[in-house]
Amino acid sequence: MGTLIMGFLFFFFFLLLFNDVLEQLGNPLIDNYHDNIGTYEYWWNHGLISDSTYQELKKSCPHQSFLFPRGECNAALNQAFNEFGDIDPYNIYGKPCPGITTLRQNLRQPLPWTFRGNDECLIFYTKKYMNDPRVQKALHANVTKKIPYRWAGCSSAIRGNWSDSPKSMLPIFKELIAAGIRIWVYSGDTDAILPLTATRYSINALKLKTLSDWYAWTDDQGEVGGWSQTYKGLTYVTVRGAGHEVPLTQPRRATVLFRYFLRNLPLPAPAVD
C-alpha cells in the first residue's frame, strides 16, 4: 500500500511541475479480493508453493485483508512463506540479503511484519546512512539533537499503527479516470508480494474498454522491456526482470518507462521487418 501512496505523491508532484494531471503507480495494492486471488495464483504458477497450500489459500484468504490476515488464512500464509525457502519474495530470482536479515529470520515475526515491503539490504544500509551524524548535518536534519529515537523506514510505523486500511481503491480509480487523469500502472514481473497477476485481476475488475491490445515493448537497446496494454483511461505496463522496486532492479527499463509516461506516448513496439 505504501507504493500506492507514493503513486499519489507522484501525481501531485507532476501536477505542480507540468500543470498536467498525471499518475503513475508501481506494483500497487489495489483491491483486497482481486489482489489476493492473483497473488496466490502467481505463487503457485511460479512453483513457490504446493498444490495443497494453494488450495487452502484460495479457500481461506480471498475475502481477508491483504495486509492484516487472520485465522485460517494467517496459518495458510505462514505455510506458504515456509515453502518459499530462503528467497527474496520482492525479486524472486534475486538473492536474499546475506548475513543481515533472511526470509527465515523474518518468518519468526508475526504478520504483517513477516515481509516489510522493502529490500532488506537497502533498508540495512539506508538506516546506517540516515543515522550518520554527518549525513544528518548535511541534510539539516535533527539539528537540535533532541529527537529521542533513531531514523527508521516508514513501513514499520505505518503498518504498526494503520487501522483503517481500505479494502479497495477501485472506486478511487474510477473517480480519477472519470476526471480525465492520465494513469499508468506498472508491475515488475519478478515481484511475488504484489505480482502482476494480482494487478491484472484488479484492473480487469474496472471493466475498461481496451484501446490497444497486449504487446511486447522494447527498451533503448532493442530488447523486450516488458508488455503493455492500453485501456480507456489507463495504461498497464509490465517490466521484464524487475522486482517490487522497479527502478532499483531494472533502472534502464524504468527510465524508458518514465520517459514515455512523461511524453504521453505508448511504449515502443518492436520494429517490423
- Measured at the CA of 266, the angle between CA 260 and CA 272, to 5 degrees, comes to 115
The string of DSSP codes covering 25-90 is EES---BHHHHHHHHHHHHHHTTSS-HHHHHHHHHHSTTS-SSS--HHHHHHHHHHHHHH-S--TT
Per-residue pLDDT in tens (0 to 9) along the chain, 273 residues:
444 434 443 443 333 334 455 667 788 889 999 999 999 999 999 999 999 999 999 999 999 988 888 899 999 999 998 898 888 888 899 877 765 544 445 555 554 445 544 456 777 788 889 999 999 999 998 888 888 888 877 666 666 667 777 899 999 999 999 999 999 999 999 999 999 999 999 999 999 999 999 999 999 999 999 999 999 999 999 999 999 889 989 999 999 999 999 999 999 998 765
Edge-to-edge strand ranges of the sheet holding 224-231: 22-26, 182-188, 234-239, 224-231, 210-218
Query: What pLDDT is stored for residue 158 in this prediction?
Result: 65
Alpha helices in the chain (DSSP H): 2-18, 32-45, 51-60, 71-84, 103-106, 120-130, 133-138, 154-161, 170-178, 196-204, 246-249, 251-263
d(CA 126, CA 216) in angstroms, rounded, equals 35
HSE of 83, CA atoms in CB hemisphere, 13 A:
18
The C-alpha cell that represents 97 in the structure block: 540479503
d(CA 221, CA 85) in angstroms, rounded, equals 35
d(CA 104, CA 217) in angstroms, rounded, equals 37
d(CA 233, CA 38) in angstroms, rounded, equals 22
With cell 518507462, the residue in question is 257
Q: What is the DSSP letter of 209?
A: P
Query: What pLDDT is stored for residue 223 in this prediction?
Result: 95
Count of C-beta atoms within a 10 Å radius of residue 179: 9
Handedness of CA 133, 134, 137, 139 (dihedral sign): negative
